[in-house]
A and B are shown apart, each in its own frame.
Chain A
Amino acid sequence: MTAAWFARRCLLIVYTLLVVSLVVFGITQVLPADAAVTLLGENATPAALAAVRTQLGLNDPAWLQYLHWLGRLLRGDLGISMRTSQPVAETMFVALSRSLLLAILALVLMLIVAVPLGLAAALRRGRAADLVVGLISYLGVSLPEFVTATLLLLLLADWLGWLPATGYVPLTQDPLDCLRHLALPVLTVAVVLVAHVSRMVRSETIDVLHSDYIRAARLKGLPPHTVLLRHALRNALLPVVTIVALDVGYLLGGIIVVEEIFAIPGIGRQLIVAIQTRDLPAIQAGALIMAATYAIANFLADCVYAVLDRRIRYD
């Protein structure tokens, strides 16, 4: 990982965020809603509307409005919510912290389940374990999150009564209760991830096990688990890092749905509410923050990949 590669990769993130901000700002321009009417209500006098338009800079050309908006963005000012009249940035970052907790728990659960599952399937090709992985991966990618969520809710909360159905308890208030409330959402989003990753681990491990250096390690007389864990797994897991990074995209989408279903006040729910009430500053902020999270996750994955695999030289 050279400094030049690092700098180039950072520039790419900046470019990506610029394009995203353009897309997000473009939506404001296309939307028929008039911000002044939204602020003052339908019965405002024309003079008051005109004053607010001047104050908000709505009479300026679009590119100037974009630059102003971008300038405020860089100073950390994401605007005031039209719905709650609160600063958007504060609401969104609090919501993001809750969503991140959910996302990290789902990723950890996925790694604990998917890697052994994929390994078992690769070692016992065509046998029961392989069949189970095949079935799970088809089911996992074929069930939308809202269906998985509803089924898990029905099974674990309604019929078995093991977990609370909805709601959110802050981690600082009661860590155990917080985890119990997060269990269903975490399980839901982890299903898709497990489906993707276990399949990937399986096919990569099969590839690696056929390679010459594994044969050499075996012929050298190394015990099977050393060959598997020290030689095969490390190389099989490399491409998995990339898949996990791409899956963060699914994860963010899944989080939007899951937060809506389980009533978790995270960033996805904020975004849905913002869209339903046409709260422009909140839509913009939510979309930007989510896209930035995705971009940063991909960047981190590239860094991890570069550190793990010395064969790849980024320059």
Chain B
Amino acid sequence: MIDLARRLLRTPQGLVGSALILLLAITCVLGPALAPLDPEAIDFLGRYAPPGSAHLLGADQLGRDVLSRLLVGARDTLPLALAATLLGTMSGALLGTLSAYLSGRWDEAIMRTIDAVMAVPGLLLALLVVATLGAGELNAALAIAIAFAPGMARITRSVALAARRMDYVNAAIARGEGGGWIVFREMLPNVAAPVVIETTIRVAFAVMLFATLSFLGLGAQPPASDWGLMIAEARPYLHQAPWVTIAPGAAIALTAIGFNLLGDGLRDAMNPRDER
């Protein structure tokens, strides 16, 4: 584990990615304490104040401090995106491993259905789920989890198929272990590496998808300071106050870049031979 962390930090992507994620984690934990001003405080005289000493990143259409809203908004955006990814990838990984373990007709039925579900583009599937459940941040997170599960199941299955043929699985079957033991204790730990890499990269997608749903009015609802929602609310005033839109946009991009870099760094650290 320590060895892996050392190798991760030796790759440039891993180093920058870890630093960005650490920064985000600190923001999520300390957010409100770091905010220089009250993120909800409305100041009509200070509307559209450009970035300066009073407001480091400017003020929005209601005179609220953009930096404070951004710092507090990290809590509305990141934990839910993370939870959605974990729920989606874990259930997908479980389904994929189970499918590989069951093999034969069950495997065929599960995989063909997953193929068909994957024929619906991710955002469209998420939109349909939100259309069914109604708008809201929890429903948006659930929609993202559902949209992620099939792809993850397919990736995990291909790795688990190789694990299925390993001697330790045959040994467990010969010992007379139950299906649950074999799936959870023998196979899942051995498909962990690609699952971890894929999960890391998918957090970036989840953050973007979550912000997109909020932007379309189907995710977080006002007065939350979710980053996607901030952009949606500031867009009509783009001409007067571009910084209100640019700041959360940059925050989303930095988050996604951080998780993408970390995922690539992990891939290099876990497969040291692949020199691409």
Secondary structure call for the B interface: helix
Q: Please pick, from A147, A275, A298, the residue contacting B131 in the complex, using a CB distance under 8 A.
A: A275
Q: Which of A148-162 contact B (CB under 8 A)?
A: 150-151, 153-154, 158
Q: Please pick, from A12, A139, A151, A250, the residue contacting B121 in the complex, using a CB distance under 8 A.
A: A250
Residues of B within 8 A of A250 (CB): 121
Residues of A within 8 A of B235 (CB): 150
Check if A290 is an interface residue, CB within 8 A of chain B. yes
13 contacts between A and B (CB under 8 A): A16-B119, A143-B249, A144-B252, A146-B215, A147-B249, A154-B245, A158-B239, A249-B121, A250-B121, A253-B121, A275-B218, A287-B124, A294-B119
Other contacts beyond A142-B208, A144-B228, A153-B238: 12, CB < 8 A: A16-B115, A20-B119, A142-B256, A142-B257, A144-B252, A144-B256, A150-B235, A253-B122, A257-B123, A287-B120, A291-B120, A294-B119
CA distance A85 to B74 in the complex (A): 43
CA distance A138 to B20 in the complex (A): 14
* Contact call A147/B119, Cβ cutoff below 8 A: no
* Contact call B127/A271, Cβ cutoff below 8 A: yes
Check if B72 is an interface residue, CB within 8 A of chain A. no
The 8 closest A-B pairs by CB, nearest first: A253-B123, A19-B116, A142-B256, A249-B121, A144-B208, A147-B249, A142-B257, A275-B131
Residues of B within 8 A of A23 (CB): 117, 120, 128
Question: With A27-B132, A150-B235, A275-B218 in contact, is A142–B121 under 8 Å at CB?
Answer: no
Check if B246 is an interface residue, CB within 8 A of chain A. yes
Q: Please pick, from A27, A31, A138, A291, the residue contacting B119 in the complex, using a CB distance under 8 A.
A: A291
CA distance A141 to B255 in the complex (A): 12
Write out, one digit per residue, whether chain B residues 106-147 have a CB within 8 A of any chain A CB (1) or not (0).
Answer: 000000110111011111100110111000000000000000
Write out, one digit per residue, whether chain A residues 92-130 have a CB within 8 A of any chain B CB (1) or not (0).
Answer: 000000000000000000000000000000000000000
Check if A314 is an interface residue, CB within 8 A of chain B. no
Residues of B within 8 A of A143 (CB): 208, 249, 252-253, 256
* Contact call B124/A252, Cβ cutoff below 8 A: yes
* Contact call B212/A145, Cβ cutoff below 8 A: yes
Check if B4 is an interface residue, CB within 8 A of chain A. no
Write out, one digit per residue, whether chain A residues 263-298 have a CB within 8 A of any chain B CB (1) or not (0).
Answer: 000000001100110100001000100110011001
Question: With A20-B119, A27-B132, A253-B124 in contact, is A142–B228 under 8 Å at CB?
Answer: no
Say which size band chain B's interface belongs to. 35 or more
* Contact call A27/B128, Cβ cutoff below 8 A: yes
Check if A15 is an interface residue, CB within 8 A of chain B. yes
Residue of B nearest to A144 (CB): B208
Closest CB in chain B relative to A228 CB, distance in Å: 19
Q: Please pick, from A16, A31, A147, the residue contacting B231 in the complex, using a CB distance under 8 A.
A: A147
Residue of A nearest to B13 (CB): A138
* Contact call A294/B121, Cβ cutoff below 8 A: yes
In this complex, the member of A15, A249, A276 whose beta carbon has the largest number of chain B beta carbons within 10 angstroms is A249
Write out, one digit per residue, whether chain A residues 1-43 have a CB within 8 A of any chain B CB (1) or not (0).
Answer: 0000000000010011011100110010011000000000000
Residues of B within 8 A of A147 (CB): 211, 231, 249, 252-253
* Contact call A154/B253, Cβ cutoff below 8 A: no
Residues of A within 8 A of B208 (CB): 142-144
* Contact call B121/A252, Cβ cutoff below 8 A: yes
CA distance A70 to B276 in the complex (A): 49
Write out, one digit per residue, whether chain A residues 229-261 have a CB within 8 A of any chain B CB (1) or not (0).
Answer: 000000000000000000001101100110010
* Contact call B228/A146, Cβ cutoff below 8 A: yes
* Contact call A275/B127, Cβ cutoff below 8 A: yes
* Contact call B216/A260, Cβ cutoff below 8 A: yes
* Contact call B204/A142, Cβ cutoff below 8 A: yes
CA distance A67 to B228 in the complex (A): 40
Residue of A nearest to B123 (CB): A253
Check if A206 is an interface residue, CB within 8 A of chain B. yes
* Contact call B121/A20, Cβ cutoff below 8 A: no
Closest CB in chain A relative to B235 CB, distance in Å: 6
CA distance A82 to B216 in the complex (A): 22
Residues of B within 8 A of A19 (CB): 113, 116-117, 119
Closest CB in chain A relative to B34 CB, distance in Å: 23
Write out, one digit per residue, whether chain B residues 238-274 have a CB within 8 A of any chain A CB (1) or not (0).
Answer: 1100100110010011001100110000000000000
